[in-house]
Structure 1
Amino acid sequence: MTDSSPRLVPVTPDNFDAVCAVRVHPAQEHLVSPVVKSLAEAYVHGETAWPRAIVDGDEVVGFVMAFMDFVWDPAKDPEHRRSGLWRLNIAAGRQGKGYGRFAVEAVTEEIRRRGGTRVYVTWKPVEDSPEPFYLGLGFRRTGELSGDEPVGVRDLTPGPDAAPVPA
């Protein structure tokens, strides 16, 4: 990372092209969808998608999208409420500099702030998968599959400034 602090910012008309230009290393392209697909999914899942550019200084270095399921009916299925990481794309030339870890922690803090008690993630079960990365950040396998992808979870403790989530 540079001398500036990385931060998550909304995707706007001003940074849209730079966000869409984020490309992971070619050997990772089979592991994660391109940013433009994620933004299309964010559009059609607007109630739960939380897309953000990862910016350091003035440079877009990556993209992260969370899903935040805070609009749910606990009477129907109180255990179904889930929030977590949907996508994480770090630009090929910016990998290995802590941006992925930063993004996961920033999403985790946002979910905690909104009252979440767990963060979920899935990954492709292939060679060079990001599983070791997620396990190293405190996620553990749940034993579930989402499609053919293992599900990981990280338990959270409530933060001191947890706020009620707007309906």
Structure 2
Amino acid sequence: MTRSPRLEPVTPATVDAALALRVHPHQEKNVAPVVKSLAEAYAYGETAWPRLILDGDRLVGFLMGFLDVVWDEEKDPADRRSGLWRLNISADAQGEGYGRFAVEALAGELRRRGTGRMYVTWEPGEDGSGGFYRGLGFRTTGERSGGQVVGVLDL
């Protein structure tokens, strides 16, 4: 079967499907549900970049990027970053390359916008997604954000 994944904005016609998307139960402690992401996208406006991951008519995931955000106002207000805020791949679509596609598609969007680095955070430990992100070329920065490991990928 030929795959043709793509990213699409969340629309009134797709919001219910987005809200119904579920990851594997054992992953629920590591990634917030889509409903939280959409609330954050609304609250953070232009800095949030929510997208559905579709393959044909099949919804396979959700990602949300963050664009040009001040990372730590107290530490360095000039440190502006962009990256992957959230990635949810449907339990029935995992292991099919959609996560890799989504990260690469966001990297392409950030390059198009002139960004040189892409950041991501993940829960530490065996159940976290660190192996996935390191496999895509992210390296740890030594920083933590809310207890999560911070990774960066040079674009």
Structure 2 length-normalised TM: 0.93
Q: Secondary structure at the match of 1:93?
A: helix
Alignment of 1:30-49 (within 5 A): 30-49=29-48
Alignment of 1:1-150 (within 5 A): 2-69=1-68, 77-78=77-78, 80-150=79-149
Cα distance between partner residues in 2 of 1:146 and 1:137: 20
Which structure shows the bigger proportion of residues in strand conformation? 2
Cα distance between partner residues in 2 of 1:95 and 1:54: 12
1:127 positional shift: 2.4
RMSD: 1.6
Which deviations, in whole Å up to 9, do the C-alpha atoms of 1:2-39 show, x marking residues without a partner? Answer: 52410000000011111111100001000100000000
1:70 positional shift: 6.8
Aligned residue identity for 1:116: T
Please tell me whether Structure 1 or Structure 2 has the larger radius of gyration of its CA atoms. Answer: 1
Q: Secondary structure at the match of 1:122?
A: strand
Q: Which runs of 5+ in 1 are unaligned?
A: 157-167
Cα distance between partner residues in 2 of 1:61 and 1:19: 9
- 1:164 maps to what in 2? none
Q: Which runs of 5+ in 2 are unaligned?
A: 71-75
Which structure shows the bigger proportion of residues in helix conformation? 2
Structure 1 runs of 4+ aligned residues shifted over 2 Å read none
Cα distance between partner residues in 2 of 1:117 and 1:148: 25
